[in-house]
Amino acid sequence: MPTREIYWNISGHLILYLFVAIGAVAFVYGVYRHVRNWRIGRPEERWDKPWERLKSLVANTGLHLSVLKEAYPGIMHACIFYGFAVLTLGTAVVLLQADLGLKVFHGLLYLWLSLALDILGLAALGGLLLAAFRRYVLRPKRLESTADDAVTLVALLAIVVSGFFIQGLRMAVEGDQWALWSPVGLVIARWFGAGVGTGGALTAAASGLAEMGAWHRYLWWGHMLLAVGFVAYMPYSKLFHVFLAPTNQYFRNLGPKGALAFVDIENSETFGASRLDEFTWKQLFDANACTRCGRCQDQCPANAAGKTLSPREVVQDMRKALEKYGPVLAATKAKVRKTLLEQAEAGAGGAAAGATTAKVEIDPAKEYEAMEEAVAELEMPSLIDDVITEENLWTCTTCRSCEEQCPVFVEVIPKIVEMRRYLVLMESRMPIEAGRTLRSLQNNGNPWGLARTARSEWIEKAGARLLEEGQEVDYLFWVGCFGAFDERSKAITESVVKILDKAGVSYGVIGEGETCCGDSARRLGNEYLYQTLARENIEALKAYKFSKIVTACPHCLNALKNEYPQLGASFDVVHHTELVAELLAAGKLKPATPLAGDAARVTFHDPCYLGRYNDVFEAPRRALRAIGANVVEMPRHGRTSFCCGAGGGRMWLEEEAAHKVNARRAEQALGTKPATVVTACPYCLQMFDDGLKAVGEEKDITKDLAELVVKAL
């Protein structure tokens, strides 16, 4: 079975490789510009766990799982991706066989490749048309269109269409006994007047062959030059994400989703980030990897409530600043480092005495000071205020919905928290309420500034077991600030105690041994205060013997489980909904009066720090069904749950009446017509109480899951 002749009427086709070489130089230079910008960032370890990273790459690039979370854009992108992947393979085969003489594909294998090229080329064409229709006809609000988008679409369409016409013209003029294996080319060949003769070979009238041959040559050169030019253009356009997106998926965060980056307080001269070079290389890489798809903006509760925050714009604003000022910062940083190295070498006795650049270390404090002075002379705009507004930094609820939906795993929250850290720890800039909350945490170990002794006042009334040092139990019940101080949340605490007693669980509480877990302090940017509180709790917990910690607060759960290990303390921590579901399934809790009738209709709100941060979705629902509840889901639930608005320290900040996130969520809950709105977080419970009142609901219909279970028992 012969291989088709590719260059049957193309003279001087090898000249094309001159243009390929020019395009390659342009491509490499474009890549270099990006790499130079990323290198100004601080080091960050993302080379660990290569096998897990490879599996992530296969799943999210190869199988497109993260992209296909949304059907329309996912299928559209998959058609384009797989189509061009196979077309690229076909181009490589031409290079190997026609130019290098390597017969890699031949016989039946070559025919199957021909068929795949036509089918998937057609899929790519369909995907591009769907993309154009979506962008320029449907025009979803989240999509922003630029000239680059139009250039990219037109170029890709031209490459695919011209490729098909080149194939059809070749078949029409030259004939092809294997024409049925190239169905799209066959249709075009017939359109040009060729037909299928005996044995499946193409035949055409003699008239017009010369003209079709000329058109074939023109189209071939146009197609190839366009393809080479397009590849050279990629590093300067949005389409560079063809390379950056898989790379970003490979370098995704494989640590606990709920853990912010650790800061070595004792050995750090500066905190947070206000300049591009103060972010890590991965955070800068994110800025270029972002595809501007807008899924994050669609999912952002603050944006949905009418606030100006857009996760996409935060990342894109960083990208624009990086492209504009990255080269300047790179040159400045290189100059500063060279000067400091020379000074260090001179101080070490000079190169003649054996000192070399490789052996001399630069003092980080001196480098920071030198960069501060050098950047000040450049009079560059401030990243905070001039590029990203302080208002938007404080608007974020850290709900993680943006990161959950991002198909390329861009990490938005760490960037926002780094800038908050800079504002709080370097400039003491923060909302008035945030400052008040942080002072209360520092002075009294709780956000209200109440006396520490009040933390254990609930214990006697609830009949909870107060642990003594050295006493051993299965579960240490971590109550948290809300559960100990807030009157509404004390009902949750008392319900958990009743459940534990009823099930005969070996447990105890430590009362005043607790202080705030530090979650709000950390997310408001005060890393120093967070670590102070966390270390105090770790020391307290060392005095007790227990197998697991159970807590009713997802924020405490996240801090104790995911963030305390950074300080050398690892605990087995579960949420009370997980334990309750387990006790109900084991028969240790038996509902005496399960929910029934209209009272059984409930909707469950997934707390962000329980669901998206810690993947606890099914346990609360299993527990509810076990007590007879009919769980009616809100449109946004599970991984797409809409935040209550309290996370990221927003619990303690003032909310504009016109843009209340909790009011939006309350409306969504009421849309299910529930008898009870159930949640499993004291923050969420309070936000729902306020949000329901804000939208005119006068009945008290919010409950924690533990309260409903106690009622059923």
- Which residue ranges form the domains of the chain, and what is each CATH number? 13-37+67-246 (1.20.950.20), 269-429 (no CATH), 438-712 (no CATH)
Percent of the chain with pLDDT over 90: 74
The mean pLDDT of 412-417, rounded to a whole number, is 97
Confidence of residue 507 (pLDDT cuts 50, 70, 90): very high
Tally Cβ neighbours within 10 Å of residue 409.
Answer: 19
Q: What are the beta bridge partners of residue 204?
A: 194
pTM attached to this predicted model? 0.92
Confidence of residue 107 (pLDDT cuts 50, 70, 90): confident
Question: 554, 613 in Cβ contact below 8 A?
Answer: yes
Question: What pLDDT digit, counting tens, does each position of 591-639 carry?
Answer: 999 999 999 999 999 999 999 999 999 999 999 999 999 999 999 999 9
Whole-angstrom distance, CA of residue 641 vs CA of residue 612: 8
Q: SS3 for 194?
A: strand
* Per-residue confidence (pLDDT) for residue 401, from 0 to 100: 96
At 537, the amino acid letter reads: N
Nearest by Cα to 420 from 439, 441, 392, 381: 392
φ, ψ of residue 21 to 5 degrees: the values are -65, -40
Lowest mean pLDDT among 6-10, 273-277, 308-312: 6-10
* Per-residue confidence (pLDDT) for residue 351, from 0 to 100: 47
Whole-angstrom distance, CA of residue 221 vs CA of residue 18: 13
Whole-angstrom distance, CA of residue 418 vs CA of residue 433: 20
* Per-residue confidence (pLDDT) for residue 13, from 0 to 100: 73
* Per-residue confidence (pLDDT) for residue 382, from 0 to 100: 87
The mean pLDDT of 4-23, rounded to a whole number, is 76
* DSSP type of residue 4: P
Nearest by Cα to 70 from 300, 384, 407: 407
Question: What pLDDT digit, counting tens, does each position of 183-231 carry?
Answer: 988 888 888 776 655 556 666 655 566 677 788 888 889 999 999 999 9
Please check the confidence at residue 355 and state whether its pLDDT lies above 50.
no
Please check the confidence at residue 296 and state whether its pLDDT lies above 80.
yes
Helices 16-38 and 209-233: crossing angle in degrees, nearest 10, is 20
**Residue 312: both structure tokens together:** 């996409």
* Per-residue confidence (pLDDT) for residue 270, from 0 to 100: 87
Question: What pLDDT digit, counting tens, does each position of 306-324 carry?
Answer: 999 999 999 999 999 999 9
Element holding 502 (H helix, E strand): helix 487-503
Mean pLDDT score of the chain: 90
* Per-residue confidence (pLDDT) for residue 357, from 0 to 100: 46
Nearest by Cα to 204 from 227, 179, 226, 224: 179
Question: 481, 515 in Cβ contact below 8 A?
Answer: no
Confidence of residue 289 (pLDDT cuts 50, 70, 90): very high
* Per-residue confidence (pLDDT) for residue 22, from 0 to 100: 96
Element holding 702 (H helix, E strand): strand 702-704
Percent of the chain with pLDDT over 70: 93
Tally Cβ neighbours within 10 Å of residue 335.
Answer: 12
* Per-residue confidence (pLDDT) for residue 110, from 0 to 100: 78
Confidence of residue 8 (pLDDT cuts 50, 70, 90): low
Lowest mean pLDDT among 102-106, 297-301, 321-325, 571-575: 102-106
Nearest by Cα to 152 from 218, 219, 231: 231
Tally Cβ neighbours within 10 Å of residue 353.
Answer: 8
